[in-house]
Structure formats: structure tokens, C-alpha cells
Structure 1
């Protein structure tokens, strides 16, 4: 393989990884959006509180963004 072929292969692999990560995050966002009631969100918060901030950082980021989106839509 030439150097150019390796670069193209590396780029394709990188793009495929990014697509997979985006798809996974979108799925996670949909799942978290299903927690719509206050009791659902309290239950989710209780579950997340059993884990470290490092483990739950991405989840909390999504949850907080979704909460802000709900506040903005209801205003």
C-alpha cells in the first residue's frame, strides 16, 4: 500500500468511527428524552448519583441541555 492509500483508509476509518459515535449519542439522547415527568427525572438523578461525575458527565450534559430546551420551549 502506498502512503496515500493508508491516509485514505485512515480517514475512512476515522469518519466511520465518528458516525458510529454520533449515532450512539443520538440514541442515548432519545432514550434520555423519554424521561419526561418530574418523578422520572428524579429517579434518573438518583441512579446517576450512585456513579462518579466522570462516569456520568456525558449523561448529565445531555440531561441538562434537554432540560434547558424544555424550559425555553415552555417560556
Structure 2
């Protein structure tokens, strides 16, 4: 294989990986969006408080962003 072929293949792999990661994140965001009540949020926060690391922080970030979006939409 030529160098050009390898870089095109690498680019395609990278793009496919990014698309898969984006689909996975969108699915996670849809699942988390279903937790809308205050009791749901408290339960999620309790679950996340038992975990540390980047994954828990990513989930908190999604949950907080969704809560802010709801507040903005409702004007509350």
C-alpha cells in the first residue's frame, strides 16, 4: 500500500470512530433526558456520587446541560 492509501484508510477509520462515538453519546443523552423529575435527578446524583472519574463527570455535564436547557425553555 502506498502512503496515500494508508492515510485515506486512517482518515476513514477515524471518521467512522467519531460517528460511532457521536451516535453513542446521542443515545446516552436521550436516555438521560427521560429523567426529568426532581426525584429522578436526586436518584441520578446519588448514583453518580458513588463513582468518580471522567465518565461520571461526563454524565454530570450532560445532566446539568439538560437541566439548564429545560429551565431556559420553561422560563423558570
Superposition TM-score, scaled by structure 1 size:
0.96
CA RMSD of aligned residues (A): 0.9
Q: Call closer, same or farther: CA 1:3–1:65 in 2, change over 3 Å.
A: same
Aligned positions, number: 75
The residue that corresponds to 2:21 in the other structure is 21
Superposition deviation, residue 55 in structure 1: 3.5
Q: Which consecutive residues of structure 1, in runs of 5 or more, have no partner in the other structure?
A: none
The residue that corresponds to 1:63 in the other structure is 63
Question: Deviating runs (4+, > 6 A) in structure 1?
Answer: none
Superposition TM-score, scaled by structure 2 size:
0.94
Superposition deviation, residue 72 in structure 1: 0.2
Kindly report which structure 2 residues correspond to 1:1-75, keeping only aligned pairs within 5 A, or say none. 1-75=1-75
